[in-house]
Chains A and B, each alone.
Chain A
């Protein structure tokens, strides 16, 4: 019994500062935040974000060359393919873009004496941005990484072309692989005309 009384006394002793902290009527140095009423209104919308692209473009071949001796009892067919991971983001106003291209079953460059070049193509203007060249290993396996202070919103297609080794001509060669870049779905709702201040004149 004594123990119970002691516990209750201690509990009530500690509850006094708690009540002082919680209840508004008591002025204490430690004040709990009041999150009621007007203070709970927030305009945060998680859908509104900076323009970001983070997508994988699947590269499909532009030629069919399954190989010699392919078929039942022979070699496996060759199907050139690849992926292009396109990332484009912004940090405090500084844009940053990355492209990682991985391909397989392209011709072995050591034997063909050629190299591959990757491009980002804007179909509207026809502009092609070269993101670099790469070689392939046995099995046609190749990888290319590109990183730059730029953004890739304007580009629609990733293309891989074949160029001669040591090519100084910046024009592209024949396209071997290409894939579309999925457009990001930016949440950019139009401003409500009722809320727009059209009669405010500002001196710039």
Chain B
């Protein structure tokens, strides 16, 4: 018991001495580590040299480690690093840089068509000398085709978006139905029933795993609700989908002007 006090005093002094001499506990800190680092051949300065600064291009882009110089940044055969546009950042809209970027080369097939829905029958109502009748717009987006690979899914997914206005709300026994029509075969594909809400506007969205590229027009009809007959009824709005953008127009956009 009597020795405890002297032992404690000695310990405290030892700690103080250790702190003063900056010995630390080994590892990364302290004078010993500093000396060690200065003499270590694998320390940063010894390894890389005195005036070494890291290059902007990452180490991986210089090629493989076994010093084959026909790849990567130092290679003469690299098409990526020997272009006019080879900079470390994108040149954006700099006209001085040649760019072969084509946004139509997406890596997947896309159908994106828009159709304006116009009234099928003549509009009789006029407000301020302007005809007021139902009208709307439709957009069909489809992705994927039969050459499915990578981003291009082999199962085509299509979405249909429709907005319509000035549609009088149907009475209790009627409903508006959306159809896609193919003129060649005469087939009309029903997409579903659209509800008309506040301010006589209607919105419709539908998604299905089927290509909708073969259809020529989109229409909104007035059907009985409930309806025993699944075929289309009285057409209220009709829109033509027109040719799709995946066909290259060889003659140019103004072909109809000069073509006889």
Which residues of chain A have C-beta atoms less than 8 A from B208's C-beta? 131-132, 146, 148
Which chain B residue has the least Cβ–Cβ distance from A95? Answer: B193
A153, B226: Cβ atoms closer than 8 Å:
yes
A148, B192: Cβ atoms closer than 8 Å:
yes
Please judge, given known A-B contacts A117-B210, A130-B189, A144-B209, whether A154 and B227 are in contact too, CB under 8 Å: yes
B226, A151: Cβ atoms closer than 8 Å:
yes
Which chain A residue has the least Cβ–Cβ distance from B195? Answer: A94
Which residues of chain A have C-beta atoms less than 8 A from B187's C-beta? 170-171
Instruction: Choose one: B193, B195, B211; the contact of A150 (CB below 8 Å).
Output: B193
A125, B206: Cβ atoms closer than 8 Å:
no
- A68 proximal to B (CB < 8 A): no
Please judge, given known A-B contacts A131-B208, A170-B182, whether A149 and B194 are in contact too, CB under 8 Å: yes
- B146 proximal to A (CB < 8 A): yes
Which residues of chain B have C-beta atoms less than 8 A from A148's C-beta? 191-192, 206, 208
B230, A155: Cβ atoms closer than 8 Å:
yes
Which residue, A130, A131, A149, A171, has most C-beta atoms of chain B within 10 A?
A149
Determine chain A's interface SS by DSSP, over half rule. loop
B214, A154: Cβ atoms closer than 8 Å:
no
B211, A154: Cβ atoms closer than 8 Å:
no
The interface size of chain A toward B, counting residues with CB under 8 Å, comes to 34
Please judge, given known A-B contacts A135-B154, A170-B182, A170-B187, whether A149 and B192 are in contact too, CB under 8 Å: yes
Which residues of chain A have C-beta atoms less than 8 A from B185's C-beta? 169-171
Please judge, given known A-B contacts A127-B231, A165-B146, whether A170 and B215 are in contact too, CB under 8 Å: yes
The interface size of chain B toward A, counting residues with CB under 8 Å, comes to 34
Interface string of B183-221 (1 = CB under 8 A from A): 011010111111100000000101111110111000000
Q: How close is B85's CB to chain A, nearest CB, in angstroms? A: 36
Report the Cα distance A146→B210, complex, angstroms. Answer: 10
- B155 proximal to A (CB < 8 A): yes
Quick one: which of A122-136 are within 8 Å of B by CB?
A: 122, 124-125, 127, 129-135
Which residues of chain A have C-beta atoms less than 8 A from B184's C-beta? 169
Interface string of B219-235 (1 = CB under 8 A from A): 00000001111110000
Report the Cα distance A130→B189, complex, angstroms. Answer: 7
Report the Cα distance A135→B231, complex, angstroms. Answer: 28
Report the Cα distance A83→B226, complex, angstroms. Answer: 27
Which residue, B194, B208, B226, has most C-beta atoms of chain A within 10 A?
B208
Determine chain B's interface SS by DSSP, over half rule. loop
Which residues of chain A have C-beta atoms less than 8 A from B230's C-beta? 122, 125, 127, 129, 154-155
Instruction: Choose one: B195, B211, B227; the contact of A166 (CB below 8 Å).
Output: B211
Report the Cα distance A115→B209, complex, angstroms. Answer: 12
- A51 proximal to B (CB < 8 A): yes
Interface string of B108-136 (1 = CB under 8 A from A): 00000000000000000000000000000
Which residues of chain B have C-beta atoms less than 8 A from A155's C-beta? 230
Instruction: Choose one: A132, A135, A147, A153; the contact of B210 (CB below 8 Å).
Output: A132
Which chain B residue has the least Cβ–Cβ distance from A168? Answer: B214
Report the Cα distance A125→B233, complex, angstroms. Answer: 13
Report the Cα distance A134→B5, complex, angstroms. Answer: 87
Which residues of chain B have C-beta atoms less than 8 A from A168's C-beta? 211, 213-214
Which residues of chain B have C-beta atoms less than 8 A from A130's C-beta? 189, 210
* Complex A-B, nearest 8 residue pairs according to Cβ-Cβ distance, in ascending order: A166-B146, A168-B214, A165-B146, A149-B192, A148-B192, A132-B209, A170-B187, A154-B230
Seen from chain B, the residues whose Cβ lies within 8 Å of a Cβ on chain A are 145-147, 154-156, 177, 182, 184-185, 187, 189-195, 204, 206-211, 213-215, 226-231
Q: Knowing that A146-B208, A166-B145, A167-B214 are A-B contacts, what are 18 other residue pairs whose CB atoms are under 8 Å apart, sorted by A's residue number?
A: A94-B193, A124-B228, A125-B229, A132-B209, A133-B209, A135-B154, A135-B155, A147-B207, A149-B195, A150-B192, A150-B193, A154-B228, A154-B229, A155-B230, A165-B154, A169-B185, A170-B187, A170-B214
